[in-house]
Amino acid sequence: MLSTNNTGAIVNFLGTVREKDKKNKKILSMTLEHYPLMTENEILKIAEQATKKWDINCVSIIHRIGKLYPKEKIVYVGVSSKHRQNAFDACSFIMDYLKSNATFWKLEEFEHTKKWVIQDKKEIEALKKWS
């Protein structure tokens, strides 16, 4: 995305599918649905916001879709910058906004039922620190 000259820090985040939901129920799988252009535009917007907020060199975001199973990788965010705090903050910001604003719909499958994941209060609260 941007020049990687003068990089002094690289922060990587790798998210995986949880084995249990918030009520400690065993998850068999999670299916992520999206509208490709809408989702890609939102992810690009989040990356652009991070580059405006922090002095960062490069951003990489990969988010999987389709049917995934517990322990499988679901999201990768990598940020490089001249200084480590910018990379840490930008990576955290990107993840908070991906969890809240990226247009993914998640369907968790359990032994006898399925349910759509809804945004919780913690995710909404996490965004406030970036305002």
Q: How far apart are the C-alpha atoms of 104 and 97, rounded to whole Å?
A: 12
Q: How far apart are the C-alpha atoms of 97 and 51, rounded to whole Å?
A: 14
Task: Report if residue 2 sits inside a domain.
Answer: no
Task: Report if residue 116 sits inside a domain.
Answer: yes
| Contact between 27 and 19 (Cβ < 8 Å) | yes
Task: Report if residue 63 sits inside a domain.
Answer: yes
Q: How far apart are the C-alpha atoms of 99 and 9, rounded to whole Å?
A: 24
Higher pLDDT, 126 or 42: 42
Structural domain boundaries, residue 101: 9-128
Please say if the pLDDT value at position 52 is more than 90.
yes
> Of 11, 9, 3, 6, which is closest to residue 77 (Cα–Cα)?
11
Domains identified in the chain, total number: 1
Task: Report if residue 41 sits inside a domain.
Answer: yes
Chain position carrying tokens 């990107």? 94
**Residue 55 maps to which CATH number?**
3.90.1170.40
Other CB atoms within 10 Å distance of the CB of residue 9: 16
Task: Report if residue 36 sits inside a domain.
Answer: yes
Task: Report if residue 3 sits inside a domain.
Answer: no
Task: Report if residue 40 sits inside a domain.
Answer: yes
Please say if the pLDDT value at position 5 is more than 80.
no
Please say if the pLDDT value at position 17 is more than 60.
yes
Q: Which residues on adjacent β-strands are paired with residue 15?
A: 75
DSSP letter for 24, please.
-
Please say if the pLDDT value at position 4 is more than 60.
no
pLDDT, mean of residues 109-119: 93
Tens digits of residue pLDDT in 68-109: 999 999 999 999 999 999 999 999 999 999 988 888 999 999
Region of residue 117 (phi > 0: left; psi between -120 and 50: alpha; otherwise: beta): beta
